[in-house]
Structure 1
């Protein structure tokens, strides 16, 4: 099973920053995002603070954001190879379903778990709808999928870049830190500093042989 973070891992961008650009608050959101990914801020609190800055934004901007997504080099090929080899694939994100679901479906991803914006009357309320997908939720999702598909930890590869991915990487048989912050690199089994996510493929092949 392959479980990947989305922002700055499967995608080159941070989804909430793309949305924030339409509200002219990208700089403020970037500051909070960076601190959270370094592990300096509680993720849930930081997410609420960032989403609060989007209050009043029109829902229609989400289509523009979806059209601007740039997958990380090698990400789509990695998923294609994994799926062809019989791997279960999942994106587990602190980002948002409204932005990433369309891309995930096109890429053939089996499962997506992410946050949702609260939108009322066609506008952002500045709140998150439902439970927040933080580091613990990411780990629990990995564990739930592993149980569902009867995949032992040794044959699970998890990929991420920030402090929010620590629990998920520790729960996987192989935890890969991709162009990652120090808080994640220190717990990872593998560190990839190249630009292509396809560099993870040999580690998937090794995991599959266990």
Structure 2
């Protein structure tokens, strides 16, 4: 979902809101380069959010911007009778409302 259906990485958006970008963005970059597997990167990043309010998820959802054409794609697929699924390794509190 991230950087495909939506224009950004939602965990990075949460980091920005929480003031953790300097710590989290380099971990994301390492994972994107294949230097760190998904699970390890997620564990490292989530550990940095310890003690932060759960409302960060709501704040990140409010900041989500759909990618150009995403709504048209889904609408066209549904009109044509095609199934459309949103797959994400992210948070269901964010993917659910977008789906």
Structure-2-length-normalised TM-score: 0.91
Partner of 1:133: none
Structure 1: gaps spanning 5 or more residues: 1-5, 105-210
Higher share of residues assigned helix: 2
Aligned partner of 1:16 in structure 2 is 11
Q: 4+ runs of 1 displaced by more than 2 Å?
A: none
Does 1 or 2 have the higher relative contact order (CA < 8 Å, sep 6+)? Answer: 2
Matched, 1:28 2:26: no
- Bigger shift: 62-71 or 46-55? 62-71
Residues 132-171 of structure 1 mapped to structure 2, 5 A cutoff: none
Cα RMSD (Å) of the superposition?
Answer: 1.2
Which residue of structure 2 aligns with residue 56 of structure 1? 51
Which whole-Å CA distance do the structure 2 matches of 1:35 and 1:84 have between them?
A: 40
Q: Quick check: 1:101 aligned with 2:73?
A: no
Structure 2 unaligned spans of 5+: none
Aligned equivalent of 2:61, options 66, 87, 94: 66
Q: 1:75 aligned to 2:67?
A: no
Secondary structure at the residue paired with 2:8? coil
SS at match of 2:90: strand
TM-score, normalisation: structure 1: 0.45
Bigger Rg, structure 1 or 2: 1
Q: How many residues align?
A: 99
Partner of 1:173: none
- Whole-angstrom distance in 2 between the partners of 1:11 and 1:22: 17
